Structure 1
Amino acid sequence: MIPSSTQPRLILASSSSYRRELLGRLQLPFEAIAPHIDETPEPGEAPEATALRLARAKASAIALQHPGALVIGSDQVATLDGAQIGKPGDHARALLQLQTMRGREVVFHTALCLWDGRIIDPATAAQVENVQVFVRFRDLPDAELDAYLRIEQPYDCAGSAKNEGLGIALLERIESNDPTALTGLPLIALTGMLRRAGVPFFGTQNP
């Protein structure tokens, strides 16, 4: 832990409104800045490795621009049978994703990085963790899947289902030790990282 008498600047390296809402629950002052990095998986890269690399890349990109800040980076990769499931981008691809996943279990890798800009050595500046979420989709007919997509239009969402919205009706079961991980920011893991970085909660300095 790095002792500090003042609250360090906290930055969320994301343009996601869902991650901003989740971080806001901690009632800590923060800014949100989009990192603008290439999120393309590398050839042959494992899903967990992709998520961890991108979470670290997002945090480090913003940390370079804002020295001395604590920067939070997060990335999520959905997988079915070990293969990555990307963001569909349009209705047809989203419907195909849901048809493929119905009645089956999808694993979401939500990677988290807290980059401490007060630490000079980049090799030790980052705390990283991957939180897995196991989601079983209901075996629903095409008509219901199509109707859902037309209502919520989750075309920017990996797996084509937003569990924080109507997409929860597509799911049969969610298993994880960090309940906010599926939405995109695992708060249990994050609060642990922030405590280790000396960030005070409840108006007091953490032991």
Structure 2
Amino acid sequence: MSMSSLPRAILLGSTSPYRRELLQRLRLPFEVEPPRVDETPRPGETPALLALRLALAKAHEVASRHPEAVVIGSDQVADLDGRPVGKPGHHARAVAQLREMSGRTVVFQTAVAVVCQATRFEQASLVPVTVKFRDLSAAEIEAYLAAEQPYDCAGSAKVEGLGIALLRAVESDDPTALIGLPLIRTCELLRAAGVPVLGQGDR
């Protein structure tokens, strides 16, 4: 077998344990490489464009250090009436976010990008998830935050856990997108990059 026919390493450019756990579902060998990216929104940047830009930036930053690898980058931004709602970071901000989203519809903009510098491959895609929140009481918010402490989750919504109890409905083409990595779209991008997800017959 020539070196050119060897499978390329797959890197997940992320510090998120949720994305790592999701990617493990595909049973592909991969390594995690934290990206060094400034995630500050630009003035006037929409949540969708912010998520796409950051997903690509994460993939490119890791690919710049590992040019032969296939690199996956992803980002999620909660979109409340066109305004980005990020990770709360602490309790008080999480309370404020959940109070604001109570009884409202929020679109979680989840972007995924795949980059390989050696083959000049670059594709990115956005998978929006529409989430309708229940009317939340102050006691419910406090009980949820005490149980989950979702301070590293966009919009304070950890839906793979108790956060599902905050919601009335979820609408999406990809159920994994809301957790942080849209696996259906990720599989499509990996195939396009030449990575067979289900073996050599996978196209």
Instruction: Name the TM-score class by shorter chain.
Output: over 0.9
Q: TM-score, normalised by structure 2?
A: 0.95
Using the TM superposition, give the Cα deviation of residue 53 of structure 1 relative to its aligned residue in structure 2, in angstroms. 0.7
Query: In the alignment, which residue of structure 2 is the partner of 1:81?
Result: 81
Using the TM superposition, give the Cα deviation of residue 138 of structure 1 relative to its aligned residue in structure 2, in angstroms. 0.8
Give percent identity, aligned residues only.
59
Which digits, 9 at most, give the CA deviation of each residue in 1:122-181, with x for residues without a partner?
A: xxx211101100000111211111111111111121111200111111111110001100
Kindly indicate whether residue 183 of structure 2 is the aligned counterpart of residue 202 of structure 1: no
**Aligned residue among 150, 156, 163 for 1:167:** 163
Secondary structure at the aligned position of 2:177 is classed as: coil
The whole-number CA distance in structure 2 between the counterparts of 1:202 and 1:85 is 36
Which digits, 9 at most, give the CA deviation of each residue in 1:34-79, with x for residues without a partner?
A: 0021000011111111111100000000001001110000001101
The whole-number CA distance in structure 2 between the counterparts of 1:193 and 1:157 is 24
Secondary structure at the aligned position of 2:109 is classed as: strand
The whole-number CA distance in structure 2 between the counterparts of 1:140 and 1:77 is 21
Which digits, 9 at most, give the CA deviation of each residue in 1:5-53, with x for residues without a partner?
A: 3321100000111000100000100000100210000111111111111
Q: TM-score, normalised by structure 1?
A: 0.93
State whether residues 134 and 174 of structure 1, in contact with CA within 8 Å, keep that contact through their aligned partners in structure 2.
Answer: yes
Which structure has the highest helix share of the two? 2
Query: In the alignment, which residue of structure 2 is the partner of 1:35?
Result: 35
Query: In the alignment, which residue of structure 1 is the partner of 2:54?
Result: 54
Q: Any stretches of 5+ residues in structure 2 without a counterpart? A: none
Instruction: Give matches, 1:10-21, under 5 Å.
Output: 10-21=10-21
State whether residues 51 and 75 of structure 2, in contact with CA within 8 Å, keep that contact through their aligned partners in structure 1.
Answer: yes
Query: In the alignment, which residue of structure 2 is the partner of 1:96?
Result: 96
State whether residues 72 and 114 of structure 1, in contact with CA within 8 Å, keep that contact through their aligned partners in structure 2.
Answer: yes
**Aligned residue among 137, 140, 148 for 2:136:** 140
Q: Any stretches of 5+ residues in structure 1 without a counterpart? A: none
The whole-number CA distance in structure 2 between the counterparts of 1:128 and 1:202 is 21
- Classify 1:13/1:130 alpha carbon distance in 2 versus 1 (closer, same or farther; 3 Å): same
Which digits, 9 at most, give the CA deviation of each residue in 1:98-131, with x for residues without a partner?
A: 11111110001101100022224xxxx2111011
The whole-number CA distance in structure 1 between the counterparts of 2:182 and 2:137 is 32
One-letter code of the match for 1:34?
A: P
Query: In the alignment, which residue of structure 1 is the partner of 2:188?
Result: 192
Kindly indicate whether residue 157 of structure 2 is the aligned counterpart of residue 157 of structure 1: no
Secondary structure at the aligned position of 1:112 is classed as: strand
Secondary structure at the aligned position of 1:182 is classed as: helix
The whole-number CA distance in structure 2 between the counterparts of 1:201 and 1:76 is 23
Secondary structure at the aligned position of 2:194 is classed as: coil
